[in-house]
Amino acid sequence: MNVKQQVLASLERNKGEYISGTDLSNRLNVSRNAVWKAIKSLQDDGYRIDGIKNKGYSLSTKCDIISAQSIAKFLSSDAKLFDIEVHDVVDSTNTQLKVEAGNGTPEGRVIIANEQTSGRGRMNRSFFSPSNTGIYMSILLRPKMTAEESLFLTTAAAVAVAKSIENVSGCDAKIKWVNDIFCNGRKVCGILTEATLDIESGGLQYAVVGIGINIIPPKEDFPSELHGVATSIFDKDGYYVEAKSKLVALILDEFWQYYQNISSRNFLDEYRERSNIIGKEVTVHYANKKERATVLGIDDQCHLTVRTANGEVKSLSSGEVSIREFE
């Protein structure tokens, strides 16, 4: 970390408390002038930092700018596993991270944005990603698994996100196979996992897990096509300072625990328990087909087991499910 990042990390860890410039310079082994320049630069970036002579500097408890440093203080002891970078605006966090992955960046790299101009979801759909109302993040992985097993990355991420959303917001988070998180019957999060195959080994060269979460309602509401479909985990009055930073940290901690033991599939029971479609009549879309079916369950490969209208039982490893037509 550079001086500015180190100063911010110290202020975040001691948020609301004053730290003298001398203490900061001694801790970081830099000059008082370097500390002052870092403070000024942070203030120019929008950080609410108070400075009082003979007392020092204090980051306001009302400051809610998400950063690698604001997230790190909520991470577990495995915080050093992650190399986090936060952007104001990107085209797509997945697209950005795939470029880095192709250049050899090690796993644990995390890119987060406050806004995406070309956010993407499954089936080549766009993902609504307005400024300062959501969290859009991607995690780079280099797993030792086959392409077929990559479905476990998405399902493990879904459980991690659902648990984390529940923790910070109190929302009863449910999962719609394979990658959507619902609160109060509406979608609050989508997950997109993209991977590249290593031709020599037949396994994955890398995988990027993208997660987009609606935190608060957009200022101008959701687009008309999302009315009745999407919502946010907080209403306008329910959000609290640092909820976004805490949420990201919880997701990273929860997901990493599952990822390190991915072969055990120790997330699968909870994935099933959180399902909002088991036992329901749905429309399944797969292989350019669309048919009515009843969801029987989710097997140990995370495939969806359904019974079609003609009584045929099928196991789906890919595709999409719609429940709205039968609500």
Domains contained in the chain, CATH given = 3-59 (1.10.10.10), 68-273 (3.30.930.10), 281-326 (2.30.30.100)
**Torsion angle of alpha carbons 74, 75, 79, 83, nearest 10°?**
-70
Q: Mind listing the pLDDT tens digit for each residue in 63-96?
A: 999 999 999 999 986 767 899 999 999 999 999 9
Residue 304 has a pLDDT of 95
The pLDDT assigned to 327 comes to 45
Do residues 231 and 214 make contact, with C-beta atoms less than 8 angstroms apart? yes
- Confidence band, pLDDT 50/70/90 cuts, at residue 1: confident
Tell me, what's the pLDDT at 287? Answer: 79
Q: pLDDT tens digit string along 126-155? A: 788 889 899 999 999 999 998 888 899 999
311 Cβ neighbours under 8 A, 6+ residues apart: none
Give me the amino acid identity at 151.
L
Task: Please tell me what DSSP assigns to residue 19.
Answer: B
Mean pLDDT of 177-202: 91
DSSP letters, 211-250, are EEEE-S--TT---GGGTTTB--SS-TTT--TTHHHHHHHH
- CA distances (Å), 182 to each of 149, 157, 197, 211, 240, in order? 24, 14, 31, 14, 21
Question: What average pLDDT does the structure give for the chain?
Answer: 92
* 224 vs 102 pLDDT, higher one: 102
Least reliable range by pLDDT among 55-59, 125-129, 187-191, 323-327: 323-327
Reference 265, options 223, 298, 222; nearest CA is 298
Give the pLDDT score at 86: 97
| Residue 170 tokens, joined | 């109190």
Structure tokens at 140: 């780079």
Element (H, E) at 160: helix 151-169
Quick one: average pLDDT of 279-290? 89
Whether residue 61 is predicted with pLDDT greater than 90 in this model: the reply is yes
Give the pLDDT of residue 200. 75
Q: What is the mean pLDDT of residues 233-243?
A: 93
* 38-58 as b/e: b if 16+ CB within 10 A: bbeebeeeebebeeeeeebbb
Query: pTM score, two decimals?
Result: 0.93
